[in-house]
Chains A and B, each alone.
Chain A
């Protein structure tokens, strides 16, 4: 059997699982059965693709007699699709594994179980689709099934609003993609991707097309200012679904961008990279600044997804620029950096959302101001979450550092670019990338420090219990992956070579053949990094120091009270809070970006009312863009509402005048 046929059967099995879920949802073992089946099918999909790739890799195509009657449904498995397919199914398998444990606490099984496998199937189909109709149908299927999961807990405050904003933004995105595919298909309506690749297009269309693609895929991936739905919708869903939406679905959107811009459009002009780079740099910094202002753990993580999408788009933008100027090796380096970051982010973001879900089930608290001290109550969750924090903050020897390091190396190749616009833009983007990395570290000190360290701030946090072993197993696999990709990046970079070969026509030198398994993107005299050696050095010197000190120095230890300036018995209320932790950063950056102000109300002597401190921040994306648009729409709707209460004569005259105008237009057009 052809591998693609096998994959299609497995995806059909996922859809079958969704149908099965509807029928058995009332049974007590239903969650166990459904998540276990989703896990098994995801593992099969993953191994099937890996075995295809490891043998001599050939592009396979398949046409099914469904969809548009004159077109059929085309599917295709090439290197790019295989890479994203692997990401979707690693994420899917681990979310299912986590769901076996986490899903038992679910109160609304009938609103989650049927849509979970359907969501997985939708993402798989988007990656395999090879014509515009199948792509958009799968895309919408993915959006709607995830929307159903977002509003699963629709009685909770704000969740219906999250669902509403999500569905509006998803519709807008799909509309933009629909128009983009219309432009790509040309006047003859060639909706199969193969036909699109062969076309040539006038340059004006290219500008419109780029805007539409950025709008369509960027709204799903979370480019600022299209990100507004993401921090509302991702936290509203159950945590394993949040992990899938943040870790995997945003990657499917990036797949859509790469597929259209690098593959279907063929040769992009150099100026395409300018909006992509600017959007990437802006998104990276804005995402992390938003995250720093958040106290809701899952929302904070969702804003970090926005940041990381920005980093990926920086890599993609650089690759577009290099490709347009025929600097193939540099383009391959930038694309590899972007794709590796896609993979890395899907791993550590899933890990962090799993940890956040464990905290949520153990304490019932979203707000980190009500947590604290969980490292004592949930030691394993704390450890895995810490691994995720170190990885996402891009510190060696974990995986986040490798992809950011590669992006920096790509930026350092860019002075050779002949365009002046890029000469000024690229170093600025490099500065923004460095700024976002440093701010991300500050944000994760806050997230981990307030949630897991210190004293418990509420009784719920003080009584938390360690999460179940299924969830811990899923987190441990992800943490191990963070480590493996960090110390042996060559393995994964070599695996990306077919993708860059097919999209750029060049690849990085084979990394596994380098001495000591080092990472050498261009030449050793230029730059090299060896995560494995750095890790070994640190571990050896740390343990050597510990042994020497314990042998020769002192090993005595005594527990005592913490220093409180002589005031005994300071309670947990005197601890630093998330708000006070981010105050310096709010003062430094927020004054401009969020128009942050602080108000202190001191009462006059004799007044018994308490003094108050209030910090005020504004979300300018909402205030400057969305609220005016929403106001305009509702104003127009109110005005148009009058049209519903007219007499029959006036309706008839409207119809008549519309007919006349149409005929006039038609006559003038000819």
Chain B
């Protein structure tokens, strides 16, 4: 019963924290650019306002267009709840391993890309087409990263993986370093951040993710925005639980250590958000076709990490 409770707390925690992380990142970015920036709580207000507005649906939008926001939101929420945040070994953490989580996110993107094509405007098509091109490179890169980490820890299960990385056996590994760099690159691409895409732009020829969801409004848009925030939180939690698993409460730990884990998690998110904002202000957005070089590098780093492990196993 307690296990189910902790799992429920995790589900609510990610849902409540996700807009805060987005607001915080925006604020930091604005401050670095010497702007005042919107208040940190602005994303919550935006979401509440959107939820109360009516939906304006294009004339030939089908049921798929209306169902997609719920599917995308639910898939992202479930995957975000399966990544350890403050504690590992949660009640349902074994129901999907890292490969399944990536596939779930891929499924959410698949439906979003379909919804982009549903209305039949060029914007939706351009967004879907570019999003799938970027995904076709980011997903294999992510799988290679999973291979690297799974070969190190001997498991694709996130809880086991985090447990391995915190143990003294892990040490410093070249492969893990390569995987970390590749994972950061993939996370940037998957969350439509600069230099791959710009979440703040609405300039026709440069949008990717925003073009795909251009026809959405009202509660549908709120769900998609929340899902995007959740995905950012998910990737930060993922990087945190694999590469900085310090403070993560183990299975059946005391309430105190779980609280400590939650505090450590908040600190990690704050650092992660700060670094992301810093990086985004330091680089410029790339042309769409340069994205393949960026992600191709991530793919090669992942492959290199895996190959090193395969080869070093016999040495």
Taking beta carbons and an 8 Å cutoff, which residues of A are in contact with B?
Answer: 372-373, 375-376, 379, 386, 390, 393-396, 401, 405, 408-409, 411-412, 414-416, 418, 420, 423-424, 426-428, 430-431, 434-435, 437-439, 441-442, 444-446, 448-450, 453-455, 516, 518, 524-530, 533-534, 537-539, 541-543, 545-546, 549, 552-554, 556-565, 570, 572, 574-576, 580-585, 587-588
| Contact A434 B74, beta carbon cutoff 8 Å | no
The CA-CA distance from A395 to B138 in the complex, in Å, is 16
The CA-CA distance from A559 to B307 in the complex, in Å, is 54
| Contact B64 A453, beta carbon cutoff 8 Å | yes
Contact of A534 among B59, B62, B78, B121 (CB under 8 A): B78
Residues of B within 8 A of A411 (CB): 147
Residues of A within 8 A of B120 (CB): 372-373, 453-455, 562, 572, 575
Residues of A within 8 A of B124 (CB): 576
A sample of 17 cross-chain residue pairs with beta-carbon separation below 8 angstroms, ordered by A number, consists of: A373-B120, A393-B106, A408-B156, A411-B147, A412-B147, A412-B156, A430-B147, A434-B144, A441-B109, A441-B135, A445-B128, A453-B64, A526-B154, A530-B94, A558-B56, A576-B117, A588-B292
Q: Given that A526-B155, A534-B100, A542-B73 are contacting pairs, would A559 and B150 also be in contact in the complex, using a CB cutoff of 8 Å?
A: no
The CA-CA distance from A528 to B56 in the complex, in Å, is 42
Return the chain B residue nearest A540 by Cβ: B74
Q: B290-315: which residues lie under 8 A (CB-CB) from chain A?
A: 292, 299, 302-303, 306-307, 309-311, 313-314
| Contact B121 A575, beta carbon cutoff 8 Å | yes
Residues of A within 8 A of B57 (CB): 557-560
| Contact A556 B55, beta carbon cutoff 8 Å | yes
Return the chain A residue nearest B48 by Cβ: A553
Known A-B contacts: A427-B306, A563-B214. Give 18 more (CB < 8 A): A375-B64, A379-B63, A395-B106, A426-B310, A438-B135, A441-B135, A445-B128, A449-B116, A453-B64, A453-B114, A455-B120, A526-B155, A534-B95, A543-B70, A560-B56, A575-B125, A583-B129, A585-B133
| Contact A527 B156, beta carbon cutoff 8 Å | yes
Residues of B within 8 A of A415 (CB): 151, 309-310, 313
Contact of B125 among A375, A386, A516, A576 (CB under 8 A): A576
| Contact A530 B62, beta carbon cutoff 8 Å | no
| Contact B95 A530, beta carbon cutoff 8 Å | yes
The CA-CA distance from A645 to B309 in the complex, in Å, is 68
Residues of B within 8 A of A558 (CB): 54-57
Q: Does B139 contact A (CB under 8 A)?
A: yes
Q: Does B277 contact A (CB under 8 A)?
A: no
Q: Given that A434-B144, A453-B62, A453-B117 are contacting pairs, would A527 and B77 also be in contact in the complex, using a CB cutoff of 8 Å?
A: no
The CA-CA distance from A534 to B108 in the complex, in Å, is 13
Taking beta carbons and an 8 Å cutoff, which residues of B are in contact with A?
Answer: 51-60, 62-64, 70-71, 73-75, 77-78, 92, 94-97, 99-100, 103-104, 106-107, 109-110, 113-114, 116-126, 128-130, 132-133, 135-140, 143-144, 147, 150-151, 154-157, 160, 204, 214-215, 218-219, 222-223, 288-289, 292, 299, 302-303, 306-307, 309-311, 313-314
- The minimal Cβ–Cβ distance linking A620 to chain B, given in whole angstroms, is 21
Return the chain A residue nearest B296 by Cβ: A588
The CA-CA distance from A454 to B193 in the complex, in Å, is 28
Residues of A within 8 A of B100 (CB): 396, 401, 405, 529, 534
Return the chain B residue nearest A523 by Cβ: B155
Return the chain B residue nearest A419 by Cβ: B314
Q: Which 8 A-B pairs have the closest CB atoms?
A: A576-B125, A454-B120, A556-B54, A449-B117, A395-B107, A542-B74, A434-B143, A553-B51
| Contact B58 A549, beta carbon cutoff 8 Å | no
The CA-CA distance from A575 to B70 in the complex, in Å, is 26
| Contact A542 B136, beta carbon cutoff 8 Å | no
The CA-CA distance from A442 to B130 in the complex, in Å, is 10
- The minimal Cβ–Cβ distance linking B315 to chain A, given in whole angstroms, is 11
The CA-CA distance from A541 to B79 in the complex, in Å, is 12
Q: Given that A526-B157, A527-B156, A563-B123 are contacting pairs, would A423 and B311 also be in contact in the complex, using a CB cutoff of 8 Å?
A: yes
| Contact A518 B313, beta carbon cutoff 8 Å | no
Residues of A within 8 A of B107 (CB): 390, 395-396
| Contact B106 A530, beta carbon cutoff 8 Å | no
Q: Given that A423-B311, A576-B122 are contacting pairs, would A396 and B215 also be in contact in the complex, using a CB cutoff of 8 Å?
A: no
Residues of B within 8 A of A546 (CB): 70
| Contact B78 A541, beta carbon cutoff 8 Å | yes
- The minimal Cβ–Cβ distance linking B97 to chain A, given in whole angstroms, is 5
Q: Given that A423-B311, A553-B52 are contacting pairs, would A563 and B144 also be in contact in the complex, using a CB cutoff of 8 Å?
A: no
Residues of B within 8 A of A441 (CB): 106, 109-110, 132, 135-136, 139
| Contact A445 B113, beta carbon cutoff 8 Å | yes
| Contact A587 B103, beta carbon cutoff 8 Å | no
Return the chain B residue nearest A454 by Cβ: B120
| Contact A401 B78, beta carbon cutoff 8 Å | no
Q: Which of A426, A553, A580 has the most CB of B within 10 A?
A: A553
Return the chain A residue nearest B50 by Cβ: A553
| Contact A528 B129, beta carbon cutoff 8 Å | no
| Contact A438 B110, beta carbon cutoff 8 Å | no
- The minimal Cβ–Cβ distance linking A580 to chain B, given in whole angstroms, is 7
Q: Which of A393, A525, A587 has the most CB of B within 10 A?
A: A525
Contact of A559 among B59, B110, B135 (CB under 8 A): B59
Contact of B114 among A445, A560, A561 (CB under 8 A): A445
Residues of A within 8 A of B150 (CB): 412, 527
| Contact B143 A581, beta carbon cutoff 8 Å | no
- The minimal Cβ–Cβ distance linking A125 to chain B, given in whole angstroms, is 39
Q: Which of B97, B137, B140 has the most CB of A within 10 A?
A: B140
Contact of B55 among A431, A453, A557 (CB under 8 A): A557
Residues of B within 8 A of A565 (CB): 204
Residues of B within 8 A of A538 (CB): 71, 74-75, 78
Residues of A within 8 A of B144 (CB): 427, 430-431, 434
The CA-CA distance from A394 to B307 in the complex, in Å, is 25
| Contact B103 A545, beta carbon cutoff 8 Å | no
- The minimal Cβ–Cβ distance linking A403 to chain B, given in whole angstroms, is 12
The CA-CA distance from A372 to B62 in the complex, in Å, is 12
| Contact B118 A529, beta carbon cutoff 8 Å | no
- The minimal Cβ–Cβ distance linking A73 to chain B, given in whole angstroms, is 46
| Contact B110 A393, beta carbon cutoff 8 Å | yes
Q: Given that A430-B147, A557-B57, A558-B54 are contacting pairs, would A453 and B118 also be in contact in the complex, using a CB cutoff of 8 Å?
A: yes
The CA-CA distance from A426 to B151 in the complex, in Å, is 13
Return the chain A residue nearest B70 by Cβ: A542
| Contact B135 A442, beta carbon cutoff 8 Å | yes
- The minimal Cβ–Cβ distance linking B146 to chain A, given in whole angstroms, is 8
The CA-CA distance from A56 to B305 in the complex, in Å, is 48
| Contact A574 B118, beta carbon cutoff 8 Å | no
Residues of B within 8 A of A561 (CB): 58-59
- The minimal Cβ–Cβ distance linking A329 to chain B, given in whole angstroms, is 15
| Contact B64 A431, beta carbon cutoff 8 Å | no
Return the chain A residue nearest B130 by Cβ: A584
| Contact A560 B58, beta carbon cutoff 8 Å | yes
The CA-CA distance from A563 to B113 in the complex, in Å, is 17
Return the chain A residue nearest B115 by Cβ: A453
Residues of A within 8 A of B104 (CB): 395-396, 534
- The minimal Cβ–Cβ distance linking B142 to chain A, given in whole angstroms, is 8
Return the chain B residue nearest A564 by Cβ: B121
Return the chain A residue nearest B154 by Cβ: A526
Contact of B92 among A423, A533, A560 (CB under 8 A): A533
- The minimal Cβ–Cβ distance linking A530 to chain B, given in whole angstroms, is 4
- The minimal Cβ–Cβ distance linking A435 to chain B, given in whole angstroms, is 4
The CA-CA distance from A414 to B310 in the complex, in Å, is 8
| Contact A525 B157, beta carbon cutoff 8 Å | yes
